[in-house]
């Protein structure tokens, strides 16, 4: 591992920061940022907006102009080496006279990545790797998960009272959390390529699961809405079917699919496990469609099912400052967790106030 200077860290941190501008638009591509620096100063920067648009390196070179000659490029992901929708970036860097390329992390989706590196080295460009690697991997955890494990990064979102209730037994649940929390969920949705729910939630709440905030710049993209509906009980009157954007209804028996197919829905058959759609197969399907991040907003049945089977990567809990008491429905139905050893240990990565609520972001303790 080369020794990187403080300046190197500052420039890469900047590249990571601008890469994040693509959080609502870059997917299925990774978010990438590029900073060009010369004589200790930034002389150009760029980020990747969306599929088909210029890559971060090209935007940075354009920003720097002729000044790019003799500069160092800080790129959050290794420069592409493929002749795809745009010419490969490593060629542009060589051509512009960049003398050094520092990358944070490799791109496992690139089949010929060593070729790019070799070309750079052959052209006399110094190449260093691994600066702020874990931050860069965190930034593109969804993309990396998809290309290495053929499934999206899976977030489960829950809106609960301080005592873990999601609704009263009489069904009342609107609204437990504040409007600020609901706005925050809109951003979660915008970062995801797909939003999944279960048939229970469709029947109970008739949700929209779309992005309704105008000030989130997704370029009009709506995430695919995925309904786990093993026995095709989604009613043709469901509000979700009347929205623009794609609905994918996942079932184990598509005999009754005609009516839904006439509406805005793709009905797809999946393997059945004990009469229920095989979630893992759905996740694979979503990855094959370029979904990096899947957000699940579900009721206690699906949430509990996924938790019991350890199918969730991250849990996002919006906790409202209310005690709702015992006559309520809890966040997850987990019939197989009967002993204290069954509980799922969490690692809290972030806790913050969102409006009057507390947002807790947790992952699962892999040690257990």
Determine the interface stretch with a copy of itself among 123-131, 182-190, 245-253, 331-339 (rule: CB under 8 A): 331-339
- From the CA atom positions of the chain, what is the Rg in Å? 23
- Min. distance of Cβ 173 from a copy of itself in angstroms? 8
Q: Which residues contact 95 (CB under 8 A, 6 or more apart)?
A: none
Does 358 bind a copy of itself (CB under 8 A)? Our answer is yes
Residue from 214, 215, 274, 339 in contact with a copy of itself (CB under 8 A): 339
Please give the C-alpha separations between residue 229 and each of 257, 287, 302, 337, 361, in angstroms, as whole numbers. Answer: 11, 19, 11, 24, 28
Residue 228 in contact with a copy of itself, rule: CB under 8 A: no
Neighbours of 230 (CB within 10 A): 19
C-alpha distances (whole Å) from 156 to each of 128, 297, 366 are 37, 6, 17
Q: Rounded CA gap, 5 and 2, in Å? A: 10
Q: How many residues touch a copy of itself (CB under 8 A)?
A: 46
What values do phi and psi take at 345, rounded to 5?
Answer: -80, 135
Query: Of the ranges 3-11, 56-64, 79-87, 327-335, which one interacts with a copy of itself (CB under 8 A)?
Result: 327-335
Closest CA to 223 of 286, 314, 140, 315: 286
Question: Which one among 52, 66, 338, 366 touches a copy of itself, defined by CB under 8 A?
Answer: 338
Indicate whether 325 belongs to the interface with a copy of itself (CB under 8 A): yes
Of the candidate spans 10-18, 224-232, 270-278, 358-366, the one that interacts with a copy of itself by CB under 8 A turns out to be 358-366
- Binding string, residues 138-177; x marks residues near a copy of itself by CB under 8 A: ----------------------xxxxxx--xxx-xx--x-
Burial 195-226 (b: 16+ CB within 10 A, else e): bbbbbbbbeebebebbbeeeeeebeeebbbbb
Q: Does 322 bind a copy of itself (CB under 8 A)?
A: yes
Q: Does 104 bind a copy of itself (CB under 8 A)?
A: no
By beta-carbon proximity to a copy of itself, the closer residue of 23 and 334 is 334
- With 0-12 / 13-18 / 19 or more C-beta atoms within 10 angstroms meaning exposed / middle / buried, residue 88 is buried
- Report the SS3 class of residue 104: strand
Q: From the list 315, 316, 318, 359, which residue makes contact with a copy of itself (rule: CB under 8 A)?
A: 315
Work out how close the CB of 366 gets to a copy of itself at its nearest, in angstroms, rounded to a whole number: 14
The tokens for 285 are 């399907």
Taking every pair of C-alpha atoms in the chain, what is the biggest distance, in angstroms? 71
Encoded one letter per residue, x for contact with a copy of itself by CB under 8 A and - for no contact, window 275-304 reads -------------------------x---x
User: In whole angstroms, how close is the CB of 199 to a copy of itself at the nearest point?
Assistant: 19
Encoded tokens for 164: 């873990």
Nearer CB in complex with a copy of itself: 1/341: 341
Residues ≥6 apart with Cβ < 8 Å to 159: 166, 176, 177, 181, 185, 317, 318, 320
The tokens for 166 are: 């999601």
The answer to the question of residue 181 lying near a copy of itself (CB under 8 A) is no
Residue 66 engages a copy of itself in binding (rule: CB under 8 A) = no
CB atoms within 10 A of CB 260: 23
Is 57 one of the catalytic residues? yes
Cβ proximity to a copy of itself, 242 vs 353, nearer residue: 353
Query: What is the nearest approach in angstroms of a copy of itself to the Cβ of residue 335?
Result: 7
Asked if 321 interacts with a copy of itself (CB under 8 A), we say yes
Residue 182 in the binding site for a copy of itself (CB under 8 A): no
Task: Please select the residue that binds a copy of itself; options are 111, 327, 350, 367, rule is CB under 8 A.
Answer: 327
* Residues classed as catalytic: 57
Q: Which residues bind a copy of itself (CB under 8 A)?
A: 160-165, 168-170, 172-173, 176, 300, 304, 307-308, 315, 317, 321-327, 330-335, 337-340, 342-348, 351, 358, 360, 362
């Amino acid at each position: 591992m080369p020794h990187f200077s403080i300046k190197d860290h500052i420039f890469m941190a900047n590249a990571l920061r601008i890469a994040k501008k693509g959080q609502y638009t870059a997917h299925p591509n990774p978010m990438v940022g590029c900073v060009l620096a010369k004589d200790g100063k930034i002389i150009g920067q760029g980020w990747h907006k969306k599929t088909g648009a210029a890559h971060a390196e090209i935007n940075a070179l354009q920003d720097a102009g002729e000044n790019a000659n003799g500069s160092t490029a800080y790129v959050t992901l290794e420069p592409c080496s493929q002749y795809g929708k745009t010419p490969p970036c490593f060629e542009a860097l060589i051509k512009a006279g960049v003398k050094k390329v520092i990358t944070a992390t490799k791109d496992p989706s690139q089949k010929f990545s060593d070729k790019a590196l070799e070309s750079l080295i052959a052209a006399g460009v110094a190449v260093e790797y691994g600066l702020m690697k874990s931050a860069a991997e965190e930034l593109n955890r969804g993309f990396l998960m998809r290309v290495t494990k053929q499934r999206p990064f899976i977030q489960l979102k829950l809106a609960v009272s301080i005592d873990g209730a999601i609704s009263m037994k009489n069904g009342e649940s609107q609204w437990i959390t504040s409007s600020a929390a609901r706005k925050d969920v809109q951003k979660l949705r915008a970062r995801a390529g797909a939003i999944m729910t279960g048939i229970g939630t469709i029947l109970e709440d008739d949700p929209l699961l779309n992005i309704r905030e105008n000030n989130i710049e997704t370029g009009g993209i709506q995430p695919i809405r995925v309904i786990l509906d093993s026995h095709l009980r989604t009613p043709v009157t469901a509000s979700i079917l009347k929205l623009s954007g794609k609905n994918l209804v996942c079932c184990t028996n598509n005999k009754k699919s005609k009516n839904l197919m006439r509406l805005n829905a793709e009905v797809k058959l999946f393997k059945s496990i004990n009469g229920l759609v095989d979630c893992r197969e759905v996740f694979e399907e979503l990855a094959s469609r370029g979904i990096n991040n899947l957000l699940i907003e579900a009721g206690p049945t699906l949430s509990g099912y996924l938790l019991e089977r350890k199918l969730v990567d991250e849990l996002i809990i919006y906790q409202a400052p209310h005690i709702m008491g015992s006559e309520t429905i809890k966040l997850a139905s987990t019939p197989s967790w009967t002993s204290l050893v069954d509980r799922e240990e969490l690692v809290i990565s972030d806790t913050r106030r969102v409006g009057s609520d507390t947002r807790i972001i947790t992952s699962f303790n892999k040690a257990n």
